[in-house]
Amino acid sequence: MDLSCFVAGKQITSERKLSVLNPYNGQRAGSVALAGRDHTEAAIKAALSAGEPLTRFERSTILDRARQLLEERREEFARLITSESGLCIRETHYEVGRASDVLRFAAIEALRDDGQSFSCDISPQGKARKIFTLREPLSCAVAITPFNHPLNQVAHKLAPAIAAGTPIILKPSEKTPLTALKFAELIYEAGLPGPMLSMLLGPTAEVAELLVRDPRVELVSFTGSVAVGKRIAETAGYKKLVLELGGNDPLIVLDDADLETAVHLAAEGSFRNSGQRCTAVKRILVHENIAGEFTRRLVAKTGDYKCGDPLDPETRVGTVIDEAAAIYLETVVQEAVGSGAKVLMGGKRQGAQIQPTVIADVPRDCRMILLESFGPLAPIVVVKDLDDAIAVANSTPYGLSSGVVTTNLNNAIKAVKRLRCGTVNINEVPGYRIESSPFGGIKDSGLGIKEGVIEAIKCMTTVKTFSLPW
Ligand code: NAP
């Protein structure tokens, strides 16, 4: 599949090409004609000249039509994501379903009146006036997305911008650009006017960095690693910033947990999407009273997560994004083993594929406990009680999400109050959400500004306040 970047709805021509390889078999998945400095400038100018916003009805209709087109092409998109990311087809079907929800919810939100009103005659200082608010689109937003959900991350930037009426320039990951560009085509086909969207890939200095620095850009919405997010925060200057960064999410399993639920959540949270979710379970903190039985059951359960050809519907764990990422994961496991941890299941690598891996007795100061490892690893750390679990959970620089498995309401409430992160899910994986609920982290995982369709629409607008005699 040979694709090109878009400036204001028009495909660019360029001699510079990016080849995209299938991480499972090394075959060519496609290519992209790359943009440069001039295209970046043209995209900003096009966004700024987008003109009067579409009506709410028009925005909602475009989003709904895009959803219908995506549902008709579900199989095509699922296979495309699999071909460039190595994620198994089971997961990529699920991802298309999620992106379809994003479009559905954004279409609904586009119709909703988001203004407030305040009567002013409510205090001795007041008078007979009324104050109103309305939300206005930004003149130009920039979004930058990672590789791990090649469609859904892109949908979470584009759909809120369309619902808000904000022109947007999106820079997808160069590891998974084909899905993003195909999705842009679909959005134009659904009726979005060209100047409302440009999609660019190219050398960082000519595209991403120029977009981030440009004072005409009013918002940079970035999802990706902590290192790149912090660099963007330094270079963006005076503009709105949304940073959704890495995570190191714990699943806390207490001794009053339903063990079957705990094992199911630990396996799903660690291995789904090849462990490449910002909110994947990256540390399993298990109460010492049940650690033995929990570990035995998790090892048995891990056998269900068949690793293999990502296009095989029976495969539950495809590759990670590339061989370098798999080699890194192997190193992290070996380091933990060197510090006394034991691999009880998996751990073997072939090319970009690393088996779902259960590792027990992991010391608390190992790299895989302190830092984010982006792959199907399930490291188990034994804790004394809930206080100890909370201390370990809060001990890293990250603060994205968390899960707690317990049947005791007091424990649940204590965990919700004391875990320093953006989300606490009781008896669910850290990643549980619906596409419109507020989502996002604190500390190194983000600035605390939430995404999710409703919050993202707010970020893509500014509030104007006006008042009238009444
Ligand atoms: P990444 O390396 O940070 O890349 C993310 C995006 O930033 C890519 O499009 C990348 O472009 C671009 N980029 C690289 N250098 C840049 C620069 N100097 N200025 C502007 N943009 C730049 O992240 P990744 O490896 O793709 O994704 C995995 C990470 O994302 C993990 O840490 C994961 O936890 C995090 N994540 C967070 C969330 C969340 O909601 N909190 C969700 C998903 C993923 P190129 O591809 O061209 O390098």
Instruction: Please check whether residue 62 is in contact with residue 192, taking contact to mean a CB–CB distance below 8 angstroms.
Output: yes
Give distance in angstroms: CA of 378 to centre of ligand 1.
23
d(CA 146, ligand 1 centre) in Å: 4
pLDDT of the residue at 217? 98
At 372 the three-state DSSP class reads coil
Longest CA pairwise span in the chain (Å): 75
For the chain, the domain total comes to 2
Query: Which residues have a Cβ under 8 Å from the Cβ of 68 and sit 6 or more positions away?
Result: none
Distance from the alpha carbon of residue 62 to the mean position of ligand 1, in angstroms = 28
The answer to whether the CB of 204 is under 6 A from ligand 1 is: yes
Q: What is the pLDDT of residues 400-452, one digit of tens each?
A: 999 999 999 999 999 999 999 999 999 999 999 999 999 999 999 999 999 99
What does the buried/exposed string (b/e) look like for 275-284 if buried means 16 or more CB atoms within 10 Å of the residue's CB?
A: bbbbbbbbbb
Cβ of 232 closer than 6 Å to ligand 1, yes or no, is: yes
Three-state DSSP at 351 gives coil
Give the Cα separation of 220 and 140 in Å (integer).
Answer: 9
Choose the catalytic residue: 244, 372, 428, 451. Answer: 244
pLDDT class of 239 with cuts at 50, 70, 90: very high
* Cα–Cα distance measured from residue 335 to residue 326, given in angstroms and rounded to the nearest whole number: 14
Same domain, 382 and 450: no
Is 441 among the domain residues? no
Tokens read off for 350: 């072939």
Same domain for 286 and 233?
no
Ligand 1 mean position, distance from CA 227 (Å): 9
Residue 85 belongs to domain spanning: 2-245+446-469
Segment 344-381, tens digit of pLDDT: 999 999 999 999 999 999 999 999 999 999 999 999 99
Among 85, 102, 173, 243, which residue has the most ligand 1 atoms within 8 Å of its CB, making it the best to mutate? Answer: 173
The per-residue pLDDT for 279 is: 98
* 3-class DSSP state of 198: strand
CATH number at residue 231: 3.40.605.10
Task: Read off the pLDDT of residues 330-344 as tens digits, 9 standing for 90 and up.
Answer: 999 999 999 999 999
> Containing H/E element for 287?
strand 281-287
Nearest-CA neighbor of 72 among 96, 103, 105, 92? 96
Is 335 annotated as catalytic? no
Check 88, 278, 366, 421 and give the catalytic one.
278
Written as six digits, the tokens of 383 are 């804790």
Q: Judge if 70 and 125 occupy the same domain.
A: yes
What mean pLDDT do residues 304-314 have?
97
Task: Kindly state whether residue 439 falls inside one of the protein's structural domains.
Answer: no
Q: What is the mean pLDDT of the chain?
A: 98
Distance 226 CA to ligand 1 centre (A): 8
228 lines ligand 1 (CB under 6 A): yes
pLDDT in tens, 189-237: 999 999 999 999 999 999 999 999 999 999 999 999 999 999 999 999 9
In this predicted structure, what is the pLDDT of residue 344? 98
Q: How far apart are the first and last CA of the chain?
A: 61
Q: What is the pLDDT of residue 144?
A: 98
Q: What's the pLDDT score for residue 357?
A: 98
Question: By C-alpha distance, which of 303, 314, 384 is closest to 344?
Answer: 303
Residues recorded for the chain = 470
For residues 142 and 237, is the Cβ–Cβ distance under 8 A? no
pLDDT tens for residues 166-191? 999 999 999 999 999 999 999 999 99
In this structure, the answer to whether residues 205 and 307 fall within a common structural domain is no
* 299/323 same-domain check: yes
What percent of the chain is predicted at pLDDT more than 70?
100
Task: Check whether residue 188 and residue 261 sit in a common domain.
Answer: no
Q: What is d(CA 190, CA 155) in angstroms, rounded to the nearest whole number?
A: 14
Which domain CATH number covers 410? 3.40.309.10
Alpha helices in 351-400 (DSSP H): 367-370, 386-393
- The angle formed by the CA atoms of residues 267, 273 and 274, to the nearest 5 degrees, is 75
Asked if residue 213 and residue 109 are part of one domain, the reply reads yes
State the Rg of the chain over Cα: 23
What's the rounded Cα separation, in Å, for the pair 441 and 372? 14
pTM of the model: 0.98
Is the domain of 313 the same as that of 412? Answer: yes
Q: Whose CA is nearest to atom 15 of ligand 1?
A: 228
Q: Whose CA is nearest to atom 24 of ligand 1?
A: 146
Which pairing describes strands 219-223 and 240-244: parallel, antiparallel, or unpaired? parallel
Q: Closest Cα partner for 77 from 155, 12, 133?
A: 155
Looking at the domain assignment, is residue 386 inside a domain? yes
DSSP classification of residue 307: B
pLDDT of amino acid 379: 98
Asked if residue 396 is part of any domain, the answer here is yes
pLDDT of residue 228: 98
For ligand 1, whether the C-beta of 225 sits within 6 Å is yes
Measure CA 122 to chain center: 44
Residue 146 beta carbon below 6 angstroms from any ligand 1 atom? yes
| 147 within domain boundaries | yes
The answer to whether position 391 is within a domain reads yes
Of 225, 231, 265, 267, which Cα lies nearest the Cα of 248?
225
Kindly state whether residues 268 and 140 are assigned to the same domain: no
41 given a catalytic annotation: no
Distance CA 23, CA 178 (A): 14
Determine, yes or no, domain membership for 456.
yes
Considering the domain architecture, whether residues 240 and 257 belong to the same structural domain is answered as: no
Q: What kind and span of H or E run contains 265?
A: helix 259-271
User: pLDDT-derived band of residue 385, with 50, 70 and 90 as boundaries?
Assistant: very high
The pLDDT of residue 54: 97
Residue nearest atom 21 in ligand 1 by C-alpha distance: 208
How much is the pLDDT for 359? 98
What is the position in ligand 1's atom list of the atom closest to the CA of 231?
18
Same domain, 139 and 170: yes
The protein residue with its alpha carbon nearest to ligand 1, atom 23, reads: 224
Considering the domain architecture, whether residues 241 and 256 belong to the same structural domain is answered as no
Give the per-residue pLDDT at 301.
Answer: 98
Is the Cβ atom of 187 under 6 angstroms away from ligand 1?
no
User: Ligand 1 within 6 A of 374 CB?
Assistant: yes
Q: Ligand 1 pocket, 175 CB below 6 A? A: yes
Residue whose C-alpha is closest to residue 168's, from 203, 204, 193: 193
Atom of ligand 1 nearest to the CA of 446: 41
Q: Measured from the CB, is residue 411 less than 6 Å from ligand 1?
A: no
pLDDT attached to residue 89: 98
Taking residues 100-120, what's their average pLDDT? 97
State how beta strands 342-345 and 357-360 pair: antiparallel
User: Domain for residue 440, yes or no?
Assistant: no
Question: Which residue's CA lies nearest to atom 43 of ligand 1?
Answer: 278
- Residue-level pLDDT at 439: 97
pLDDT, residue 446, reads 98
Q: How far apart are CA 30 and CA 15, in angstroms?
A: 15
Structure tokens at 351: 């090319």
Residue 9, token pair as written in the block? 């709805």
